Amino acid sequence: MRIKVIVPVSTEIWNRGIEEAYSAVKDSDTEITIVNLSKGPESIEQYYDIAWAELETLKEAEKAEKEGYDAVIIYCFSDPALFAVREKLRIPVVGLRESALHVAAMLGRRFSIIGVGSKNSKGKTLDAVRMYGMESKLASIRMLDFLVLDIAEELDNIKQALLKEAEHAIKNDGAEVIILSCGSLIGVGKWLQERLEVPVIEPGLVALKLAEDLVKLGLSHSKLSFYSPHRKRRIE
Amino acid sequence: MRIKVIVPVSTEIWNRGIEEAYSAVKDSDTEITIVNLSKGPESIEQYYDIAWAELETLKEAEKAEKEGYDAVIIYCFSDPALFAVREKLRIPVVGLRESALHVAAMLGRRFSIIGVGSKNSKGKTLDAVRMYGMESKLASIRMLDFLVLDIAEELDNIKQALLKEAEHAIKNDGAEVIILSCGSLIGVGKWLQERLEVPVIEPGLVALKLAEDLVKLGLSHSKLSFYSPHRKRRIE
Amino acid sequence: MRIKVIVPVSTEIWNRGIEEAYSAVKDSDTEITIVNLSKGPESIEQYYDIAWAELETLKEAEKAEKEGYDAVIIYCFSDPALFAVREKLRIPVVGLRESALHVAAMLGRRFSIIGVGSKNSKGKTLDAVRMYGMESKLASIRMLDFLVLDIAEELDNIKQALLKEAEHAIKNDGAEVIILSCGSLIGVGKWLQERLEVPVIEPGLVALKLAEDLVKLGLSHSKLSFYSPHRKRRIE
Amino acid sequence: MRIKVIVPVSTEIWNRGIEEAYSAVKDSDTEITIVNLSKGPESIEQYYDIAWAELETLKEAEKAEKEGYDAVIIYCFSDPALFAVREKLRIPVVGLRESALHVAAMLGRRFSIIGVGSKNSKGKTLDAVRMYGMESKLASIRMLDFLVLDIAEELDNIKQALLKEAEHAIKNDGAEVIILSCGSLIGVGKWLQERLEVPVIEPGLVALKLAEDLVKLGLSHSKLSFYSPHRKRRIE
Amino acid sequence: MRIKVIVPVSTEIWNRGIEEAYSAVKDSDTEITIVNLSKGPESIEQYYDIAWAELETLKEAEKAEKEGYDAVIIYCFSDPALFAVREKLRIPVVGLRESALHVAAMLGRRFSIIGVGSKNSKGKTLDAVRMYGMESKLASIRMLDFLVLDIAEELDNIKQALLKEAEHAIKNDGAEVIILSCGSLIGVGKWLQERLEVPVIEPGLVALKLAEDLVKLGLSHSKLSFYSPHRKRRIE
Amino acid sequence: MRIKVIVPVSTEIWNRGIEEAYSAVKDSDTEITIVNLSKGPESIEQYYDIAWAELETLKEAEKAEKEGYDAVIIYCFSDPALFAVREKLRIPVVGLRESALHVAAMLGRRFSIIGVGSKNSKGKTLDAVRMYGMESKLASIRMLDFLVLDIAEELDNIKQALLKEAEHAIKNDGAEVIILSCGSLIGVGKWLQERLEVPVIEPGLVALKLAEDLVKLGLSHSKLSFYSPHRKRRIE
């Protein structure tokens, strides 16, 4: 099984971490290829960044299907271009946010979404939770003032702050499950879960396992929901 | 008052019709400028097309604010890049779909959305209706098999087919209001309304009036909902 | 365009303020007539007051259509008799609460409703928000202990208290938009908006612009939603 | 126990039927007094009629509490003035529609509401179902073209038509419970239930039993939900 | 009228209290029989206990119908086996939780559920509130750390703690109605209601009155919702 | 990895088929043990059967954790005792229905649930869909008149009837994904999917992959949502 992982940003600083984390949990016969965008934003925090990333993500995904990959993972909690890619492709396309929300909903009755990206990144998440009909399961969205690009340098501070935020979500918002809202907090889920009474979801890992599952079960998104686009002129 | 209308496609065939329709209903002191995209799809029917249009739409909108416009209208029922643009701009940004849904909800208890674009264009509309929490007000979405680019040549057939579809929506789905789901069906709303017992909403016209209203009332979208993006490298 | 504004209370103390505020934002060719009720309550704060105002409001509205007005505004945040009037009339009938809720929903993801009238006036507003399917967008309803009839004498205190309440709603309830829940707080919206980071909606102004829009676009409420009443004996 | 039944119309033609039906199911120690309005509509089918009935209903209810009644029933499926009366009174106030919806929800997963009053009477019922958060339990609302005032003369035809409509609702809409949407179809519920596989709710009877229950249990509506109105001038 | 009350636990310590409370509010011609389970848990606090009680509850209920009872009450706020029993029986089957939720919804706009059983008992209640579509009416669920079996010895402490918790729910969560979430807090509802500004629902009493109502009105659950089970081998 | 599969019926006729199907899709290092109930129903179609199966299912699951299994699958679309088992166990417990609903929701916007078990089995499924907040994604529930125990003898007829029902769901109900509502229709999902344009979910297979995922990711249900039961006397 060959899975292409598109990290939809114009930097490759996350690739190595993703590769290591994926090695630890992937099926033995899964082959992972990680790519980035040649154009686009360095990080994705809100709709503005998504708009910068979508077309390039789409093109990478189209290439993946032609190259014979069995599935595509769009490795970002904002799920940029997820539905556009599904319309174009027939192979399974998995997004981190969608996967994480559904798995969280199976582990408890209310979840909190915590992460970096500042308040700027709350709106897009709330919109998705509403679109998926899960607002009543949302205990809270809590975003640290750290930005995505701070993660490398500030990892220890971010971990401590996330722990505090998660404890707050559990105690005051009624969270029973924690979702990390960023694919770049690799390994932090495990670290947090050891310090909390609740499961902590790393969306990147959940997405990988769901992608493998769909391939193995011969399932993919419905083409009656995500229709293949009409041919027309689209100027690059 | 100066409003920039971005028709987010790579063709200018609709501009003239929009200009004429806008002239008929705009406030006397409103000045309208209509622009298109230099890159992008010829028409927008589904997420795939949206992904091709978003970044260019965003750039046109950013230019508009710098040029001193008082408001921006994204003239497409798919509202491409609507929230991304709001994050970047402070002036009001109005989308056709959002405006049409809210005005329809004030004119009756259930609405149907009819238009061209084939079944391919249903999913994105349902997603938006769900995100806005309006699914229980949705009587149906009925899309003709004609495509957006057929409108010029097939206008008479399309009008007759829309009339039939609207009658069907009223009789069988319980529609009390009809929303046309395309900005390119200019003038068809009036024609339909004369032949039906219910109000018919042309989203392009509703969007214009709401844009004027917001400017006149000194209102714009909340920057606590649509935060201004962080500075970061975004490679073009 | 001639619009009749029914202020559904038995006092004319608000008329002048409304007239001035409307002059500032109305279209140049809009003619405004403001009337009150000869019977009814001095102010409307809860269902009890609404029951005292509805029949008289209805009669004023019926007269308006006969007099050739193009639209009716029921100038009260409780929207008394709004649906009853729509059943009887064919011209557009606009309510302050309904307009404000829909415009607020377009400016941000969560709004708070603040105003005077004490806790007594919360229930009716919550009922309406639920009926419109907008409860998940409601950050909070916060009503000062001042009454509507205190406004004239206590305006400065009320303004300060509203500012504090709005700040509270933004900080603690997550409000991204503020709706003033009373038509009598004329001019307070602008004053508040200058002191807050979020848009503040004065429902009376929004209602005026929507009424003008509907007339200009040839739209009115659906008579398949608001059926014309059957003839029958109704004893006065 | 003394219960005042307000039939909020200006005719007494229903009183005798109500009296007989109530005699058959009331507790032995319950004393029923039935009154009508001196002013108001002959029948209530839509918001327009409700607006004609509310203030008089309110006055009758206020009188009832002063006269020492233990509970008030507003005998009409439109629940006119129900919340206004609750604000003013401390004794339990029971409405037919609210009672019927809640009892129906306990007897099955989906109910249909059928009755007379023509399509004109559908909107108000849908609004209430939405406000109560029960729209997903609503299989359908089906209203015969007969009017309320046709009942006396057309009873046999109406019964046959209701039977047909109920069968339709069960077979095609998925109704598992039938609610009669009019207090004037006295005895028809029993007749229908004998001919159908599902329970049929006569709202008038359900309201009586709930009123007795509340009195016996020392329960009434919350005054923190239905606050007592402020004193103010209300001109008659 | 003969009603069988199944207290679905393996202890009879509550029976006397129930009997006394029921005597005070039942109709004069209602005959009450109270039974317990020979096998099963001593108290029911969460799904685990429910699983221990369901089959025995079902068998007791089946016996009741054969013995000619007119209705069955499953006397526990967890409504164990409620829907299973309805499938098997034709006579009305009333549960405490379902009854209490619906009556509470008629007395105010938001209710809190308070009781004993610790946090362990919150999940099952939230699930039911969601299934009934009432989550937006739920102000809060607040469970004391006392267990059900502590009630006898700790009654005074529990009463004081419940009072405090109810005051908290009213002040901070917006509760307008209080539901006691346990059938064993007999008499505590009255005691609390005398000390609070809101109605307090004792679910056991509400269930009794609803059971009597259904019998008197000839109503029972829909067999098109709760189908009679197929014959098949079920090994004991 | 060792997974215990509890087929919660008193017959082992399904075990072999499950074993074969699981062998084909399980991870190479997963070891499967399949067990049945010594007491209980032969098949599960509605709440009545569930009540017969729950306690025995619970005991088997408790045994599994003691025996050192890494996860438990309750192999039945009714998810009997799922939440009770989660309360008692710390290892992941996966149900077929819950898994299938969430995976279906990721593959399309509306799904239909089809299967055997007759109308009797619809209610429990609708309740679960409501509890999970997914009713707006439910296109329809369509149950053939065949019973679960008919599957062996009538497999060919059932397959043809399911194909017809699925085509109906797609064409008339708007289904974009099909869920088979029974664990015993092994292999039918693949057969159907080859004949339809939409994905078809076999809940048993989805449950297996999710169980493996959870174990591999070190995730399990939240003990703050599914609290461990208090010690108390529970009489067998």
Is D147 a residue whose pLDDT tops 90? yes
Pick from F21, F113, F30: nearest CA to F75: F21
Min Cα separation D51/chain B (Å): 19
Q: What CA–CA distance (Å, rounded) separates A3 from A91? A: 10
CA distance C208 to chain B (A): 9
Task: Please check whether residues B101 and B85 belong to one and the same domain.
Answer: no
Mutation target for C interface from A126, A129, A137: give the one with most C CBs within 10 A.
Answer: A126
Q: What is the pLDDT of residues F74-92, one digit of tens each?
A: 999 999 999 999 999 999 9
Indicate the residue of E98, E170, E206 with minimum beta-carbon distance to D217: E206
Q: Is residue F6 part of a domain?
A: yes
Q: How far apart are CA D96 and CA D94, in angstroms?
A: 7
Q: Give C109's contacts in chain A (Cβ within 8 Å).
A: 123, 126-127
Instruction: Check whether residue B103 and residue B193 sit in a common domain.
Output: yes
Distance between CA atoms of residues B121 and B153, nearest Å: 20
Say how many CB pairs under 8 Å bridge A and E: 5
Nearest CA in chain F to D134: F130
The number of folded domains in chain E is 2
Give the pLDDT score at D100: 98
Amino acid at C87: E
- Distance of residue C109 Cα from the nearest chain A Cα, in angstroms: 8
* F84 CA: distance to closest CA in chain E (Å): 4
User: What residues in chain B have their Cβ under 8 A from chain C's Cβ atoms?
Assistant: 25, 27-28, 98-99, 102-103, 105-110, 132-134, 136-137, 170, 176-177, 190, 193, 197-199, 201-202, 205-206, 209-210, 212-213, 216-226
Residue C152 is predicted with a pLDDT of: 85
Residues of B in contact with D127 (CB under 8 A): 109
Residues of chain F neighbouring D109 (CB-CB closer than 8 A) = 123, 126-127
B76: which 2 tokens? Answer: 């497409």
User: Is C136 within 8 Å of A130 when comparing Cβ atoms?
Assistant: yes
Asked whether residue C120 falls in the same domain as residue C186, the answer is yes
Q: Which candidate in D109, D111, D134, D176 is best for mutational testing of the F interface (most F CBs within 10 A)? A: D109
Tell me the whole-structure pTM to 2 decimals: 0.97
Is C23 inside a domain boundary? Answer: yes
Dist. CA B211–CA D74, nearest whole Å: 46
Q: Do residues B229 and A120 make contact, with C-beta atoms less than 8 angstroms apart?
A: yes
Confidence of residue B156 (pLDDT cuts 50, 70, 90): very high
Chain A partners within 8 Å of E135 (Cβ):
136
Minimum distance, in Å, between the CA of residue B138 and any CA atom of chain D: 13
- Which chain D residues touch C84 with a CB distance below 8 Å? 46-48, 50-51
Could you say which of E37, E41, E229 has the minimum Cβ distance to residue F120?
A: E229
Three-class secondary structure assignment of A75-92: CCCCCCCHHHHHHHCCCC
pLDDT at D152 over 90: no
In Å, how far is F59's CA from the nearest CA of chain E?
Answer: 10
Q: What per-residue confidence (pLDDT) applies to F19?
A: 97
Which DSSP string do the residues of F51-67 spell out, in sequence order? HHHHHHHHHHHHHHHHT
Tell me which chain D residues have a C-beta less than 8 angstroms from the C-beta of B136.
Answer: 130, 135
Q: Which chains touch F (3 or more CB pairs under 8 A)?
A: A, B, D, E
Total number of residues shown for chain A = 236
Q: What are phi and psi of F97, to 5 degrees?
A: -65, -50
Task: Classify residue D225: in a domain, yes or no.
Answer: no
Interface with chain F: mutation pick from B46, B119, B126, highest number of F CBs within 10 Å? B126
CA angle D33/D36/D39 to nearest 5° reads: 155
Any domain includes B229: no
Are both A88 and A112 inside the same structural domain? no
CA closest to B202 among chain C residues: C217
In a domain, B175, yes or no: yes
Q: DSSP readout, F200-219? A: EE-HHHHHHHHHHHHHHHT-
Q: Which of F106, F107, F109 is best to mutate for the B interface (most B CBs within 10 A)? A: F109
Mutate to test the interface with E, among D173, D222, D226 (most CBs of E within 10 A): D222
Distance CA(B211)–CA(A44), nearest Å, equals 29
Cα angle D5, D6, D9; round to 5 = 145
Residue of A nearest to F187 (CA): A217
Give D-chain residues touching F123 at CB under 8 angstroms: 109
- What confidence score (pLDDT) does residue B23 get? 97
pLDDT reported for residue F152? 85
- Distance of residue A120 Cα from the nearest chain C Cα, in angstroms: 13
Domain-embedded: residue C118: yes
Chains that touch C (3 or more CB pairs under 8 A): A, B, D, E
A71 in the same domain as A168: no
Q: Which chains touch D (3 or more CB pairs under 8 A)?
A: B, C, E, F
Report whether pLDDT(C82) > 90: yes
For residue A4, the SS3 value is strand
pLDDT one-digit tens code per residue, B143-153: 999 998 998 89
Our CA-based measurement puts residue E49 at a distance from the nearest CA of chain F, in whole angstroms, of 8
pLDDT digits (tens, 9 = 90+) for E5-61: 999 999 999 999 999 999 999 999 999 999 999 999 999 999 999 999 999 999 999
Domain residues for the domain of E87 are 2-96+206-217
* Same domain as F190, residue F211: no
Chain E residue set in contact with A, beta carbons under 8 Å:
123, 126-127, 130, 135
Residues of chain E with pLDDT under 50: none
E81 & E177 share domain: no
Asked if A170 and A186 sit in the same domain, the reply is yes
Chain E residue whose CA is closest to D215: E25
Whether B28 has a pLDDT exceeding 90, the answer reads yes
**Which of B54, B93, B141, B226 should one mutate to test binding to chain A, selecting the residue with the greatest count of A CBs within 10 A?**
B54
Task: Compute chain D's Rg from CA coordinates.
Answer: 17
Based on the domain organization, do C137 and C182 belong to the same domain?
A: yes
What pLDDT, in 10s, does the model give residues C47-62? 999 999 999 999 999 9
Q: What is the 3-state secondary structure (H, E, C) of C192-219?
A: HHCCCCCCEECHHHHHHHHHHHHHHHCC
| Chain C contacts to E (CB-CB under 8 A) | 123, 126-127, 130, 135
The mean pLDDT value for F172-192 works out to 95
**Residue D228 domain-assigned?**
no
- Using CB atoms, list chains with 3+ pairs below 8 Å to chain B: A, C, D, F
**Chain E environment of C130 (Cβ under 8 Å):** 136
Best to test chain F binding among A73, A213, A220 (most F CBs inside 10 Å): A213
- Given a cut of 70, the residues of chain A with pLDDT beneath it are none
In a domain, D233, yes or no: no
* Pair B47, A87: CB distance under 8 Å: yes
Q: Do E221 and D213 touch (CB under 8 A)?
A: no
Find the CATH number of the domain harbouring F190.
3.40.50.12500
Q: Are F5 and F75 in contact (CB under 8 A)?
A: yes
pLDDT at B36 over 90: yes
pLDDT tens digits, one per residue of B88-106: 999 999 999 999 999 999 9
C87/C108 same-domain check:
no
Residue B114 token pair? 């009819």
CB contact under 8 A, C123 and E109: yes
Summary count for chain B: helices (H), strands (E): 8, 10
pLDDT value for A182: 87
C211: Cβ contacts below 8 Å, ≥ 6 apart: C3, C71, C72, C73, C92, C94
- Interface residues of F toward B, Cβ cutoff 8 Å, are 109, 136
E186 to chain D, closest Cα gap in Å: 13
What are the chain A neighbours of E127 within 8 Å (beta carbons)? 109
- Cβ neighbours of C127 in E, within 8 Å: 109
- Buried b / exposed e over A136-146, threshold 16 CB at 10 Å, is bbbbbbbbbeb
Same domain, D67 and D160: no
A17 Cβ contact partners less than 8 Å away, ≥ 6 residues apart: A184, A186, A187
Nearest to B216 among C170, C197, C209 (CB): C209
Residue-level pLDDT at C71: 98
Mean pLDDT to the nearest integer, C161-182: 97
Distance (Å, whole) CA F64 – CA F33: 10
Which residues of chain E lie closer than 8 angstroms to A109, CB-CB?
123, 126-127
Residues A108 and A192 placed together within one structural domain of the fold: yes
Closest partner CB to D81 (pick from C51, C84, C133): C51
